Amino acid sequence: MQTILEPSAVQRLCESFRSGGKTIGFVPTMGFLHEGHLSLMRTARAENAVLVVSIFVNPTQFGRGEDFDSYPRDLQGDLIQIERAGGDLVFAPPAEVMYPEGFRSFVEVTELTDVLCGASRPGHFRGVATVVTKLLNLIRPHRAYFGQKDYQQSVVIRRLVADLNFDLKVVVLPTIREPDGLAMSSRNARLTPEQRRAALVLYRSLRHSEERVREGERNAKAICDEMRGMIEAEPLARIDYVALCDPETLKPIDWMEGSTLAALAVRFGSTRLIDNILISLP
């Protein structure tokens, strides 16, 4: 397995893979890997001749006062896990290489980024769209793999890939959860034991919304109110948003018809967690 820091070097090597007729599967990450990341890598490994993984904590998707400096990092541990998952190439550039002095170009996807996480984290998805565009341009994968936990991100990236005519397939795989239901996230490591127990209310509230739909409830506001009530009953939780929305446009809905995205973002201390499920009508 090779580890490369320079964009030009990774670009040349990936071009040699393509010209040699090898398919490239790409998993972009911010490191501090967990089973959610590794499940993406194993699928990419099985479906492609070459597995490329990036490790880059992207400063442009963090706003003022957010956790860029304290975001967990463990490059050496990550490299061991990637090699075990069958990685062929790791791209781990420093920030100053990805955003050199004089950098002025950014990519924006409109409308899809104004709601949910985009409403409370202005500029976040501009940073995501920019770094993903750079990575796809450098690596030129045949398939790129993302997790459903970052559902809004996956919708934004699918739109980006379609609009900018990238020649690749975006693959979105199910959220990987801990045995007690908490969605796996690098930020979970920052929770205190009390916050970790409190965070279980996220998945409980999502499952509650699914159960209410099975019971026949279709009023989106009524279901959201019940979810909010469950979360607000947990003293350590501070709600950012709770929403039922269209899974394609991400716009909030009033009445449930067809597939619906139930999504939420909640803070426990300084740690912000997101989660979601897709609900299909019975």
Q: Catalytic site residues?
A: 37
Q: Order of strands across the sheet with 237-245?
A: 237-245, 260-268, 271-279
- Asked whether the beta carbons of 90 and 4 are under 8 A apart, the reply is yes
Residue 3 is which amino acid? Answer: T
Q: Which of 67, 26, 90 is closest to 186 using CA atoms?
A: 67
Positive or negative: CA dihedral 59, 11, 6, 102: negative
- According to DSSP, residue 180 is labeled T
Segments of 79-222 assigned E as strands: 89-91, 143-147, 169-173
Cα separation, 37 vs 40, whole angstroms = 5
- According to DSSP, residue 91 is labeled E
Cα separation, 148 vs 174, whole angstroms = 5
DSSP string over 58-100: -GGG--TTSSTTTS---HHHHHHHHHHTT-SEEE---HHHHS-
Q: How would you classify the pairing of strands 89-91 and 143-147?
A: unpaired
- List all residues 6 or more positions away from 222 whose beta carbon is below 8 Å from its beta carbon: 212
